[in-house]
Copies of this chain bind each other. A is one copy, B any other.
Amino acid sequence: MHERYEKEKIKAIWINENKLALWQETELAVIKANCNLGKFPAEVFIKMNQFLTQAPIDISWWKKRDVEIRHDLNAFLEERIRFISPDLQQYWHKNITSYDTEEPAFAKMLKMSVDIVGDSCDKLLATLFELAKKYRYTIMNARTHGMEAKLQSLGKRCLTWLKELWIGYGNLQTASKNLNYSKLSGAIGNYGGLDPEMEKEALVILGFMPFLGATQIMPRILYAPLAEALCQIVQTLDKIATDIRLGARSGRPIFQEPFGKTQKGSSAMPHKKNTISTEQLEGMARMAKGYLIMIMDNIKTWEERAIEQSCVERVAWPDLFHVTVHSLENMNKVLSGLVVFPDNMLQEIVESRGCYASDEAKELLKELGAPFGLTSEEAYRIIQLAAFNAFEISENRQIFRAAIAESLEEADRFLTGFKLLRASDPREFACQPTVTLETIIASGLLSTSPQLEASAETVEQWNKILSQIFNDPGNLRRWQEIFQPSFLLKNEAKLYKEILGK
């Protein structure tokens, strides 16, 4: 992994020093098991353990030997046997095959890496938990298809992020159960000169249960779910990252990534505060998928095994762990330092002109309109028309909407003209609080729209009915109520209670 994204804790697991130490651990466990079962003299383990723990593994000797004999496990065996007294050498690696030594070590490396991921997950879940609590009543526009849809609390959005990550974490935990199994069943998995009892004894010493039905190696389908769970987690982080990027778009941002006091956003444009961390998370998600694909392919091997999977596993597993941990830590930094602009959220809501309640408005109008002969379809079309009306623009502005500049000089003039319009035309600002879905309907102020097919007569008739409906103060009160956040968000309590337990 590139040094920029490499995590020290993951690296420490996958380096040669640790791998060979774990190989030695397996070899010693096998010897101990054989001693325990009376197959080797009892002192063999004690002496062997002394020899080997006293003599540190010489990594450079091993590397050199590996190049000569082209077999890294054999090179390790030879490096070690140098320190074993001749009378005990026959007990060294007895009856077992290279992958008997390697498989438990490999499963341990995966396990240790999963623990690191788990720690990072825990931290991020805690951050999300805190965010959800903090912003439980901070209201914002929820968006579907990028469009302002309905009101929600920012805390509720955090809950959906939290829950999704939780699922990923759960999948990781399920997948890592497979790491509790390993094998010591010989070169083709049917024990040959080995004893199933020894396998069990040695694996228990190492913290594993025997997997029955291995070939020379553990079937790689056991590890595929782990890679998948890691990849899913990174994809979920990309989803959260994307939500942040979308909220941070300049204009009227609701979010901002933490930005240092001495940070530079751009070499060219000093005003920039870029969402570089969340963008990087998309890159990480791309990488995670690539590593997953590599590992999925490892399920297939020839007969009792071939070694296609080895190089892939040397590269893809540590790199996938680096990517996952880096992504979790990166996201935790972003969310811990996330700048939130509740005022901009309010501004978005105000400027959405009541449409955030169009769903409830439509349902209420169906109900209130029924006695007046309004069909469900008409209720839908009335709310749609009112929503479109609410966003109609002034004639002055209409000019700017319709005109296409024909030269750069005209573009200059348009910009100057538009500045003037903004500075002078009260409707550019004033219209917003008063012309809303709420008021148009309640006052029967629908007008035809070039965007919809309702005719002037239809619209007039609709306005008449609306006036009748909202003449009734009870109806009006119910109408006004649905535009209140406290009305719209009341059921979020259920989510907080069930997910956060509060």
Q: How far is the CA of A280 from the CA of B228 in the complex (A)?
A: 23
- This protein's copies in its complex: 4
Given A260-B70, A305-B144: A150 and B187 within 8 A (CB)?
yes
> What separation, in Å, do the CA atoms of A276 and B360 have in the docked complex?
23
If A145-B272, A485-B415 touch, whether A297 touches B304 (CB-CB below 8 Å) is no
Closest B residue to A196 using CB positions: B494
Select which of B316, B360, B488, B494 is within 8 A of A290 by beta carbon. B316
Q: Contact between A267 and B93 (Cβ–Cβ < 8 Å)?
A: yes
Contact A152 B190 (CB under 8 A): yes
Could you say which residues of chain B place their CB within 8 Å of the CB of A392? none
Contact of A303 among B134, B243, B347 (CB under 8 A): B243
Say yes or no: A252 contacts B251, CB within 8 Å. yes
Residue in B156, B192, B279 whose beta carbon sits within 8 Å of that of A306 in the complex:
B279
| Distance A222 CA – B165 CA, assembled complex (angstroms) | 11
Q: Which of A368-384 contact B (CB under 8 A)?
A: 370, 375-377, 380-381, 383-384
Q: Given A188-B152, A191-B492, A347-B422, decide whether A139 and B485 contact each other with a Cβ distance below 8 A.
A: no
Which residues of B are found within 8 Å of A276, using beta-carbon distances?
Answer: 70, 145, 307
- Centre residue among A5, A144, A148, A495 by max chain B CB count within 10 A: A144
A58: chain B residues within 8 A (beta carbon): none
Q: Is A186 an interface residue (CB 8 A)?
A: yes
Interface readout for A265-277 with B: 1 if CB under 8 Å, 0 if not? Answer: 1111111111110
| Closest B residue to A171 using CB positions | B225
From B149, B307, B341, B370, contact of A90 by CB (8 A): B370
Q: Is A111 an interface residue (CB 8 A)?
A: no
- Asked if residues B346 and A491 are in contact (CB atoms below 8 Å), the reply is no
Which of A400-408, A459-467, A468-476 lines the interface with chain B?
A400-408
Question: Could you say which of B159, B287, B397 contacts A316, with CB atoms under 8 Å apart?
Answer: B287
List chain B residues, Cβ under 8 A from A502: none
Main secondary structure of the interface of A (DSSP, over half): helix
CB proximity to B under 8 Å, residues A419-470: 419, 422-423, 428-430, 432-433, 437, 451-453
Select which of B89, B196, B307, B359 is within 8 A of A274 by beta carbon.
B307
A294 at the B interface (CB under 8 A): yes
On chain B, the residues within 8 Å of A115 by CB distance are none
B407 with A5: CB separation less than 8 A? no
- Pairwise interchain contact A274-B384, C-beta atoms closer than 8 A: no
Q: Is A105 interfacial (CB-CB < 8 Å)?
A: no
Quick check: which of A28-36, A48-56, A118-126, A348-356 contacts chain B, the rest being far away? A348-356
Q: Can you list 8 contacts pairing A with B, beta carbon distance less than 8 Å?
A: A94-B366, A137-B411, A163-B212, A246-B302, A251-B252, A271-B355, A280-B308, A412-B485
Given A148-B250, A192-B360, A342-B404; 9 other pairs, CB 8 A cutoff: A71-B266, A98-B266, A137-B404, A147-B248, A156-B189, A192-B359, A195-B491, A224-B235, A235-B299
